[in-house]
Amino acid sequence: MIPTLAGVILLIFFLFKFFGGDPAQILAGQVASQEQIDAIRQQLGLDRPWYVQLGIFVRDIFSFDFGKSWMTREQVSEIFVTRLPATLTITLPILILEVALAIPVAMLVAYHRGTLLDRLVIAICVAAMSISFLVYIIVGQYVFGFELGWFPVQGWSDSFWRNLVTYAPLPILLAALVGLAPQTRLYRSFFLDETKSDYVRTARAKGLSDAAILRRHVLPNAMVPVLTNVALLLPGVFVGSFLLEIFFSIPGLGREVYIAVNRSDYPVIQAFTVYLAVLTMLINLGADVLYRLVDPRIQLT
């Protein structure tokens, strides 16, 4: 994990250092004098050799101090902490809803595998996955927010409960429904893989019904790949909803990065990328430890 973290830091540093624009130029704007640019250069340490700059970058990361956003003069760490709750208010319910809905649907189609129902559900899933997420959001926002008026078109407040009850439901429902199709397809294959195992044949031989086999034997065993999949999706909860945040003007992390890209606000992009990479690594580590608890056969390497 340490070498990977070092690699992430190096990648981000060199990407912005050698391929990015001149920070002083971006900061000073179009009509800056040479003195102004030089002053900014000195202030940012851009006149020093690259390894000193790398040292400063590493120090910033470990002291959680990325300085201020170039555009809004807000502390970057402050931005990160204040935008995180809004993102999690949206993404965590999406993840829970998606998994909770996909498991029963996948079990149902796995139980009826090969029948018309199975093929119909899978065909609908493929077609549903071929439509861009954008279309679902545009049409969903228009129909349920604008035309029918069931939900507010967009907005956000300071109160968590008000957000969760008023503003979040529409984006959450849209994303959960869209995520359902790929999830169902995946979980169906997990269930079908398990039904080929020996223990299923044994259970059938002793006379258990298909429904009982599926519920008592297949489901617990299929939970291992399902959990793996959830662990893979978990890092996504931090930025996964950036499109929803942009459409519904939710002040979250994803929207903040998007705004930063449009403004060439490098410190914000760099800090978010490095910290979210660290979070991803920590989550993956946690997931590995969890597997060990769920399935003792798995050895940590």
**Which is closer to another protein, CB of 1 or CB of 290?**
1
CA nearest neighbour of 118 among 59, 33, 192, 65:
192
Beta-carbon contacts of 154 under 8 Å, excluding residues fewer than 6 positions away, are 141, 145, 167, 247, 248, 249, 250
Please report how close the Cβ of residue 208 comes to another protein at its closest, in angstroms: 28
Please report how close the Cβ of residue 122 comes to another protein at its closest, in angstroms: 10
Please report how close the Cβ of residue 161 comes to another protein at its closest, in angstroms: 29
Query: 149: exposed, middle or buried (C-beta count within 10 Å: 0-12, 13-18, 19+)?
Result: exposed
Please report how close the Cβ of residue 212 comes to another protein at its closest, in angstroms: 30
Query: Is residue 171 within 8 Å of residue 244, measured between CB atoms?
Result: yes
Please report how close the Cβ of residue 277 comes to another protein at its closest, in angstroms: 5
**Which is closer to another protein, CB of 173 or CB of 276?**
276
Q: Dihedral through CA 203, CA 206, CA 210, CA 211, nearest 10?
A: -80
Please report how close the Cβ of residue 217 comes to another protein at its closest, in angstroms: 25
Burial 127-146 (b: 16+ CB within 10 A, else e): ebeeeeeeebbeebbeebbe
Adjacent-strand bridge partners of 75: 68
**Which is closer to another protein, CB of 26 or CB of 44?**
26
**Which is closer to another protein, CB of 123 or CB of 289?**
123
Adjacent-strand bridge partners of 68: 75
**Which is closer to another protein, CB of 12 or CB of 214?**
12
**Which is closer to another protein, CB of 218 or CB of 274?**
274
Q: How many CB atoms lie within 10 A of CB 180?
A: 19
Contacts to another protein by CB under 8 A: 3-5, 7-8, 11-12, 15-16, 18-21, 26, 126-127, 129-135, 138-139, 142, 146, 235-236, 238-240, 242-243, 246, 254, 257-258, 260-262, 264, 266, 269-270, 272-273, 276-277, 280-281, 284
Residue that the structure tokens 């050698």 belong to:
18
Amino acid identity at 189? S
